[in-house]
Structure formats: C-alpha cells, structure tokens
Amino acid sequence: MGWGAAAVMCALIVGSLGACGSSPTKAPVEDRTPAASTSPTPASPDAPVVVPPKVEIGPTIVQARSRWVGVGWDALPGLQQDALDQGWRAWIKSCERSASMPPALAALCPQALALANADAAGQRAWMFRHLQPYRVESLQGESQGLLTAYYEPVFEASRTPNAHFSAPIYAPPANLASRKPWYTRKEMDTLPEAMSALKGRALVYFGDPVDALVLQIQGSGRIRVQQADGSFRTSRLAFAGTNDQPYKSVGKWLLDQGLSKDATWPGIKAWLARNPQRQQELLWSNPRVVFFREETIKDGDAEAGPRGAQGVALSAGRSIAVDPGSIPYGTPVWMSSTGAQTALQQLVIAQDTGSAITGAVRADFFAGSGTQAGELAGRLKQPLQMWVLWPK
C-alpha cells in the first residue's frame, strides 16, 4: 500500500507503514493534483430526498477478523448529504476487477455501471432496494476504530547519479525470489554480493535518502525528471515488491535510543540536521526496502491515484485501505469519522490494504497526491465507524 510530497507531521511514524507524510529538507515539488476534500461532496440542495425503506434486518455475518451486524438505513449518519457520484465512480473502478470481488458484489456491477450517470437520488434509491447496511464490529463487539490517511508523494529525480541526486530507487533485483528474506537495507549498502545484484537496477536517483525512505513507506509516488530539452516528465513509481525484511520505524528507533522525544518527520529531519553523521545509522535501523516499477501517467489519468491492492486506480477521498480479513476488496462502505481535522460521512470503497492496516474497524483514507494531500495525511488520526453495504 499504501502510497506522498511532504512537509507534514506524522504521529504514526512511531509504528505505522501507512498514514505517513514527510518533511524533506529540500522543498517538496509543487504539483497540481488535487488533494481529497476534507468534507464530503454535498448533494444538491434541490435534490429530492429519497426516504429509505424499513429493512428486514438480516443475520449477523462473521468474517475472519470482524462481524457485521445488520442495521436500518437510518443508522448511517449523513446518508442524505453525500452526493454519491464520486464514490460511485470509485465503485465502478472496482468493477473493472470484478473477479477480485465476492461473487454477490460482482453480480451487481452491471447495474452499478448502468447508474454511473444517474443523479444522487437515483443512485440512493437503487442502494436502498439492493443493499443492506451492516455495522462493522470487532469479533468482541467493538464498533469504534481508527481512521488515518495516506497519500502519493511527488519528488524530483534524476536518471543518472550526480552531486545533487545520489539516492537510488531500485527495481526488483533479478534474484529477489532466490533468497527469502532478501538482504537487509544495511547489507544492500555494504555487501558486495547484494551490491552486485542491484547493479543496473536503479530506476532513478533522489536527492535525499530520507525522501527515498518516505517513498518506500508510502508504497508509491510520482517523480518529475528533467529531460534533455529542459522540460519535465512526470511518471509514477509503483510498488513492485520488498526484500521481505520486517519494517522497523525510524521514529521509534530515535525514541528507544533516547535520542529525541519527537518522532514526527519534522522531528526526525531536525535530529538529522543536528546529527548528519548518524544518517546512515538511522536508515539502517529499518531493514525493510521496497522495490518499484515505473508507470507512465497519461494525460487523461493525471488525477488518478496509484493502483491499490485490488488492482484498480485509487480515487482521492473515495478509496480506503482496509484489513481484507474484515472487509473484502470492492465492498462499498459508509464511513463516519469526526475529529479535530475533519468530519467525513460518505460513501467509500475498500480497494487497498497495508501491513499496518489491521483490525475490524480500521481504515486508511487515500488523500490524493502532492503537498496538500500529504498535509492531510500527516494530521488525520481520529475515531471511525464503518458500515458495509452488502447485497440483500
């Protein structure tokens, strides 16, 4: 997963792979990709209100790491206020990979597609007829969980190493599958056999090794590379594998060593500014390395996010990463979260996951790409409730 340019605080750097931004020493690249709205798109004030019918509550459904308890539509806060169309488009993207969805959901894809251009009232009426809301709870009955956010960073990069760009971003080495786990981050920097396996595998070079770490934590990012004619070309670095080593938080390493009381990215950067000779030591404290593949961003796909675990492009503000043992990919979910940063009551789609996203009522909200999205991702950490919308 997971997947952002930075200048944000990230409380979850202490122990999380997702929901994390950065504050690079070098100014982040400005991009024009919009961040997710921090409030749901409101329905038109003239839109007719569709009264939800009383539903026959179905039996509780038990998943591997959650249970779903049937409720009436009136239990969903903000149900009449969300315009639905953005969430509907994200759902249709999931239907592009209907084979990855539970059969009961996949069977509804043709009807969902037919309603792609319908108004919110029409979409809402269809939902009432064909779907049943279920409150997501832990197996112990807890319905309150945690919402964080993640984003897609944007960095400047170079095709060749030079005085300003020297931190390599690697494609998977040819012999990656021959050794499980593969070499650690430190071994990749020091062992001749690891260095030999990586020769010729660098896709691009970053100006700051810590930015490279940020990219690996987010799981994907955009890069801007200057061309021979002086223009810039933007492309995406997408997740392509790991060295199968455990993730260790560099922020937690600082805390455990008693070196800093601030484990946010700004705090980490500030510590490094005071202790540049210990940068390698800090980086090596996290043995996990992520490998990437480069993808072209077509003109019409400038606003599309990276592909999530379901294999479809993520939609800013409408895609969430979940624990697939709690909610299957492609499931429409009603989300309600209110905190210091924002109030969200809207339709989202489960399309991604991450190693830090575990538990029944746990979601990582895809905030989009670029600086604004990174700022939201770095701040968002608040209570969450979810309801899956499941076929009757």
- What domains can be seen in the chain, in order of their start residue? 11-20+151-301 (2.40.240.50), 61-149+306-391 (2.40.40.10)
The whole-number average pLDDT for the span 112-137 is: 95
For the chain, what is the mean pLDDT? 87
Closest CA to 4 of 253, 245, 182, 265: 265
What is the C-alpha separation between 204 and 294, in angstroms, rounded?
9
The whole-number average pLDDT for the span 81-110 is: 95
Q: How far apart are the first and last CA of the chain?
A: 31
Specify which residues 384 forms β-bridges with. 145
- 63: pLDDT strictly greater than 70: yes
What is the C-alpha separation between 45 and 238, in angstroms, rounded?
40
The whole-number average pLDDT for the span 207-218 is: 92
If pLDDT is split at 50, 70 and 90, which confidence band does 190 have?
Answer: very high
Torsions phi, psi for 326 (to 5 deg): -105, -45
pLDDT in tens, 277-312: 999 999 999 999 999 999 998 766 667 889 999 999
What is the C-alpha separation between 294 and 289, in angstroms, rounded?
16
What is the C-alpha separation between 374 and 378, in angstroms, rounded?
6
The region of weakest confidence among 123-137, 274-288, 299-313, 346-360 is 299-313
What's the per-residue H, E or C state across 367-384? EEECHHHHHHHHHCEEEE
324 vs 302, higher pLDDT: 324
Closest CA to 355 of 9, 19, 4: 19
pLDDT of residue 340: 86
The region of weakest confidence among 48-52, 142-146, 314-318 is 48-52
What is the C-alpha separation between 93 and 101, in angstroms, rounded?
12
- 217: pLDDT strictly greater than 70: yes
